Structure 1
Amino acid sequence: MTRAVLLVNIGSPDEWTVASTRKYLRKFLMDKRVIDVPFLFRFLLVNLIIVPFRAPGSLRSYKRILINGQSPLIYYSYQLETKLQKLLGDAYYVKIAMMYGRPYLQEVLDELQRMHLSEIIVVPLYPQYASSTTGSVLEAVFNHIKNWQVIPNIKTVHTFYHYSEFVDLWTRHIQKHLPAEYDFILFSYHGLPVRQIFKADSQFSKRNCNLSECCLDCKSENEYCYRMNCLRTTQSIVEKLSIDKNKTFTCFQSRLGQSEWLKPYALDYLKELAQKGVKRLVVVSPAFVTDCLETLYEIQTEYAELFKRWGGDKLTLIPSLNVEDEWIKFLSVVVRE
């Protein structure tokens, strides 16, 4: 019997129109784990404020980074599917699926339901755990299959930032793309509202998180803390790179709205670095295994322009892992565990 490998990511608009971009943003932002407020408030906020004003700008941004008419996320994901399938062989059936765009997760699961599978291995392509990413994927999968008459064995991969192989491949990847001369390395992760960190912590009988020193050590009490996952990722990679840790820092990007998100905010720290005299900045985003709007537009275009405006000379983005052979080999190891 065959095992299915389901590689899940966030997705992109189905077409390059304002209407399709609005549809994508609605699906994404109406996810109760993404904007975790009461339904009526979320509905009004998303449909009357965020989507109408954000969709045209998002579409323009997407159009600036397309590869052969596709978003980089979709372009590289299909290649990832093909390459991992070749490496794993006929004993596995590899499929990519997207949460909020084509190929839709629910439709891919419907395809898998018709197959005679011994196991479905669900791999949310998010190295660090967050309720709005990994948690949302797992909820969607289990909600969709709960009424199947035959539910095969389900294996899930929650996080993989802590695998030594993952740290090693990111280290070598950075070394391969690192400029000969640079002043500082900024590690940038997708931000989250602070309330989501506390909500995850409050699930357990003993609360531990205070968004300070508690996030510097990985232990059983905070293994699902997104901030700890991110800080630990940076720490592990910097140690392997054998560089001065005082020339590195971790920050959080992509803030949406006015509520408090994880700090420091990437834009604030970027400005501070430029004003302190940093001229050649390198940015690494280990939260994104595939290049997307947040890396190729937000960092490589917007942040690079702002860094120069504030006094810097050059911002170099280390590309995501995309379809690097080492990354695909690592995924095959995780799947076979």
Structure 2
Amino acid sequence: MKGALLVNLGSPDSPEPKDVKKYLGEFLMDERVIDIPLVARTALVKGIILNTRPKASAAAYKKIWWDEGSPLIVLSERLKDKVQEETSLPVALAMRYGSMTIKKGLQELVDKGCDEVFLIPLYPQFAMATTETILVLAEELREEFFPNLKIDSLPPFYNNPDYISILANSIKNELKGKDYEYLLFSYHGVPERHIKKSDVTQSHCKIDGSCCATPSKAHEFCYRHQCLEVTRLVAEYLELKPDTYSTSFQSRLGFDPWLQPYTDRTIERLGKKGIKTMAIATPAFVSDCLETLEEIAMEGEEIFHEMGGKEFTTIPCLNTNKDWVTFLANKINNWSKNGVEA
């Protein structure tokens, strides 16, 4: 019997500092998130970050927390329920970090009789800290707890024409009837070293402004290329003029160089430049979460207004968009019939 497991990032159990600290500890100790030697990572995370950041992060979570719980969890559960309505295969939901573990998700499907699972990382683009860490953990769990289980996974779908049209139309519909001068595509940032570590050619990625536009096998695992490609394809679909949109990266941590340009500084620059009305989309996320609801919709808007901007529109993630639901259901149904697509 076959089943599907949707996997998103995760969330603290509550916006209280103790729960946020527990969640951040698990998240930041992942060697694919902070990819430095264990001793140094432990000193950084447990010695510094977990003694300073949980209180501030908890305050941020409290700003966006819903009565039903974490927006990311609630929206992911709604998505799972909607997808279930469009497929006869059992569908479960898990998170890479937090109490809704991948092990629990796999166990739920196994308990329903599944011996084959289609793992769907809810990330359009590949990254060490998202897709890769999910796939690696799932395989470790399979070997240790579910040796008779077969697991296939959905490849990154950043350039899938159906996905691009769904994303582009969601942006178009949200901006219908609204005046805006500039559209910013903001993606979650990663350290530059992650890009070079993911380069299967060990030579292509230079992060120099040209390598992402030069065809290479490296692009299969290059987060930067895949983000830029989403922007390019959506802009092409929407027929945007070159000087009315751009790409930026948010949520950096520490002092090492991360992908640039940074979103907060880009918003500041646009305001100083005299842009009065702007919109911002966040295509690295499929469900609204702390990074979209607080960092962009609250902090980003505040920066824009401080720089003289007037209208700041945050475009919601796909969440439970009907076409997005159908896209995922079709992937599951096609896998059930034909196996994993190339």
**Do both proteins adopt the same fold according to a TM-score greater than 0.5, normalized to the shorter chain?**
yes
- Residue in structure 2 matched with residue 208 of structure 1 by the alignment: 204
Give the aligned residue type for 1:52: N
1:324 aligned to 2:308?
A: no
Of the structure 1 ranges 61-70 and 282-291, higher mean CA displacement relative to structure 2 is found in 61-70
Correspondence for 2:191: 193
1:181 aligns with 2:179: yes
State the shift of 1:284 in Å. 0.6
User: Of residues 143, 148, 155 in structure 2, which corresponds to 1:146?
Assistant: 143
2:15, 2:59 within 8 Å by CA — same for their partners in 1? no
* Residue 64 (structure 2) pairs with residue 65 (structure 1): yes
- Per the alignment, residue 153 of structure 2 pairs with 156
Query: Which residue of 1 is the match for residue 124 of structure 2?
Result: 127
Query: Residues 288 and 320 of structure 1 are in contact (CA less than 8 Å); yes or no, is this contact kept in structure 2?
Result: yes
SS of the counterpart of 2:144? coil
The one of 82, 93, 98 aligned to 1:96: 93
Q: Give the whole-Å Cα distance in 2 for the aligned partners of 1:149 and 1:121.
A: 14
Map 1:290-329 to 2 at 5 A: 290-329=287-326
Cα gap change, 1:149 to 1:176, in 2 (>3 Å) = closer
Q: CA deviation at 1:270?
A: 1.2
Pairing of 1:6-85 with structure 2 (within 5 A): 6-85=5-84
TM-superposed CA distance for 1:147, in Å, is: 2.9
Where does residue 224 of structure 1 map in the other structure?
Answer: 221
Residues 310, 94 of structure 1: alpha-carbon distance in 2 compared, 3 angstrom cutoff: same
Q: Which AA in structure 1 matches 2:104?
A: E
Q: Report the alpha carbon displacement of residue 67 of structure 1 after superposing the two structures with TM.
A: 2.1
1:118-139 Cα shifts (integer Å, max 9, x gaps): 4100001010000110000001
CA–CA separation in structure 2 for the residues paired with 1:218 and 1:170? 24
Deviations 1:174-219 (A, max 9, x none): 1110152111000000000001111111x43x51111121102454
More moved, 110-119 vs 245-254: 110-119
Report the secondary structure of 2:85's partner residue. Answer: helix
SS at match of 1:240: helix
Q: Note the C-alpha offset of 1:86.
A: 1.0
Instruction: Give the partner amino acid of 1:258.
Output: F
Q: 1:329 to 1:218 in 2, by over 3 A?
A: farther
Deviations 1:212-249 (A, max 9, x none): 21102454332211000000000000000012122100
Q: Aligned residue for 1:336? A: 333
1:117 CA drift (Å): 1.6
Unaligned ranges ≥5, structure 2? 335-342
Tell me if the contact between 2:95 and 2:102 (Cα under 8 Å) persists in the aligned partners: yes
Using the TM superposition, give the Cα deviation of residue 148 of structure 1 relative to its aligned residue in structure 2, in angstroms.
Answer: 4.2
TM-score by length of 2: 0.94
Mapped contact 2:183–2:246 kept (Cα < 8 A): yes
**Residue ranges of structure 1 left out of the alignment (5+ in a row):** none
Match of 2:263 in 1: 266
Identity %: 38
Specify whether residues 218 and 167 from structure 1 end up closer, same or farther in structure 2 by C-alpha distance, changes over 3 A only.
farther
Verify the 8 A CA contact 2:14 2:70 in the aligned structure 1.
no
- Normalised by the size of structure 1, how large is the TM-score? 0.95
